[in-house]
Structure 1
Amino acid sequence: MFRFFSKISSKKKHIAIITLVFIIAILFEALQQIFYIKRFNLAQNIQFFDILKSQSYKWFIWVVLSSILIWYTKQKSSQKNNNYFLYGAVILGLVFLSVIIISIIQFSISNDTFSWILLFDEYVTFFTFQKAPIYTLGYIAIAIIMHFYFTNEALQIKVEGLSELKKTNANLYKKLSKYNDDNTRVLNIKIGNKRKIIPVIDIYWIEADDYCVKVHTNKNNSYTMRSSLKALNDKLSNNFLRVHRKAIVNMDVVKELNMSSTPKLVLNNNIEISVSKSNLKLVKSFIG
């Protein structure tokens, strides 16, 4: 049985639960009325199914009119600002309409001579006190449940749309990454109140300087930048190698690897950069 219920969709489960609640409400009200009739001897030869039939058609009218409230809630749930006074006006209007319809039907099946005064003084007044409170609570419950249902439905649609957008962007990024990469193309260095934009291709090497770095360019200019070698090494393209704990070199401007007692890289501008023993293998591999 539990497997059977697990296969039922969430929407069908909610419909089944609401239907069951309505059936229980109708049965309860019918049993309540039959109890009062017999307890206080209000009428003779009244059967339970007669009361049940009477209650069923009244609740059926309530359910039919609730479709107006469901439609109204669906229209308003898509709006950011909901006017709860309008919700209250719609609910009270539906309650009043339900009472009027029930009163007219009940009056038409009675043996009384039609009279507007009798209709409102007797039937409308009676059913207002009998049905209006429970009908109002029922409509309020439907408005709240349907508001959250339609709001959740709208959110799910947005989530699906965002999911599709994410997939589209991921596929686009995958295609573009074949022709591009995430490496930075320029360094943005603050100098006083200005910003100096240095193209990466103009950088010869980068030197660690305490909590900063010095960026040396092909024009023999040096700029101090608030960063670390590790952070820059992660941003720069593959032709930049960490050759020493204090230096990153643009291997495109290296003209020679000097394997003297202390290995050094000689740049195009004849600057020599020491290569640590731990990074020598990486440098040889790159040159090779």
Structure 2
Amino acid sequence: MNAKYREFVLFTLLMVIILIVFESFQQYYYILQFNLVPPSSFTFSELIIGQTYRWLMWLAITLAYFGTTIYSGQSDKLFKITRPWPSAFHLMILIGINVLIASILRFFLNDQAISLDNLWDNCVFYFFQKTPIYTLAHGAMLGLFHLVNSNQNLVVEILDLKNQKELTTSETPQALSIKIGTRNKIIPLSDIVWIEAYDYCVKIHTIYQHAYAMRNSLKALEKRLLEHQFLRVHRKAIVNMNKVLEVTYNSSSFLTLEDQTKIDIAQSRIKNIKTFFG
């Protein structure tokens, strides 16, 4: 797990624990206050277990969604406060999925046979019961993620400014210097196959099938390496075009490198690649 998301996950787990305890006490109070079932027919630990199943399910689905969103690079679009509709749309999908799975899970917890009529009744029940607290919980997660993501973007901007300053005071490099512990690893540009965005760092992939992490950004490296046959082909990749074996243009275009690595090409970058190869 990336270090910058570790705190986000820990806060989320703490929030889920609080919600499990809160809803268990709430359910316990309603049962006793309104005599819904005889007190002897259940225990508080059973309520805790039932709420734990539902909230762990909610957490798994939500983290899977967040992880997919982060991995696909859509986090800026989906979690931008000035554009709430994408977040609201995905929130409705998440609530629908959670309500459906909670309804199905209830049959297994109560050892009941599943029927469409009972499933519909359960869905309606959980929709009205869970939608408000699911919305609040998702809102809290969106807020936490926005803070983490904003911090990441700030770090990238600082790195860009630092690298732009270095660029004005140094010549175009023939090699990249990567700090590893107390020493610097010098990698000739001719040994670099491609460069991959990795968190707010980059990974330098070499002809020796080894990758090195470097505190830099693709944006800064793109400017520094442009004169050395390196081309930005995707928001996550810069490629040494001398290492390209084949280019495939279709609905999902990609480059095939000499080591058989396939790199996706962004549609907006296809023209630049065609121009490069003449």
Is this contact kept in 2: 1:69–1:90, CA < 8 A? no
Where does residue 221 of structure 1 map in the other structure?
none
Percent identical among aligned pairs is: 26
Shift of 1:58: 0.4
Deviates more, 1:106-115 or 1:71-80: 71-80
Larger Cα-atom Rg: 1
Question: What is the alpha-carbon distance in structure 1 between the residues aligned to residue 32 and residue 146 of structure 2?
Answer: 42
Bigger relative CO (Cα 8 Å, ≥ 6 apart): 2
Distance 1:151 1:72, change over 3 A: farther
RMSD: 2.6
Shift of 1:131: 0.9
Q: Say which of 15, 19, 33 aligns to 1:21.
A: 15
Unaligned 5+ residue runs, structure 1? 1-8, 173-288
Say yes or no: does 1:56 pair with 2:52: yes
Where does residue 215 of structure 2 map in the other structure?
none
Question: What is the alpha-carbon distance in structure 2 between the residues aligned to residue 135 and residue 89 of structure 1?
Answer: 14
Q: Residues 99-178 of structure 1: matches in 2 within 5 Å?
A: 99-120=99-120, 122-171=121-170
SS of corresponding position for 2:37: coil
Is this contact kept in 2: 1:70–1:143, CA < 8 A? no
Q: CA offsets, 1:150-183, max 9 Å, x none?
A: 23312311211221221342356xxxxxxxxxxx
Is this contact kept in 2: 1:26–1:52, CA < 8 A? yes
Question: What is the alpha-carbon distance in structure 2 between the residues aligned to residue 143 and residue 28 of structure 1?
Answer: 21
Say yes or no: does 1:31 pair with 2:25: yes
Shift of 1:79: 4.7
Where does residue 77 of structure 1 map in the other structure?
75
Question: What is the alpha-carbon distance in structure 2 between the residues aligned to residue 96 and residue 160 of structure 1?
Answer: 41
Report the AA paired with residue 21 of structure 2: L
Report the AA paired with residue 75 of structure 2: S
Is this contact kept in 2: 1:103–1:124, CA < 8 A? yes
Unaligned 5+ residue runs, structure 2? 172-278
Distance 1:10 1:151, change over 3 A: closer
Shift of 1:136: 1.6
Q: CA offsets, 1:166-208, max 9 Å, x none?
A: 1342356xxxxxxxxxxxxxxxxxxxxxxxxxxxxxxxxxxxx
Q: CA offsets, 1:238-272, max 9 Å, x none?
A: xxxxxxxxxxxxxxxxxxxxxxxxxxxxxxxxxxx
Q: CA offsets, 1:110-142, max 9 Å, x none?
A: 35443201210x211111111111112211222
Q: How many residues align structurally?
A: 163
Is this contact kept in 1: 2:103–2:122, CA < 8 A? yes
Is this contact kept in 1: 2:24–2:48, CA < 8 A? yes
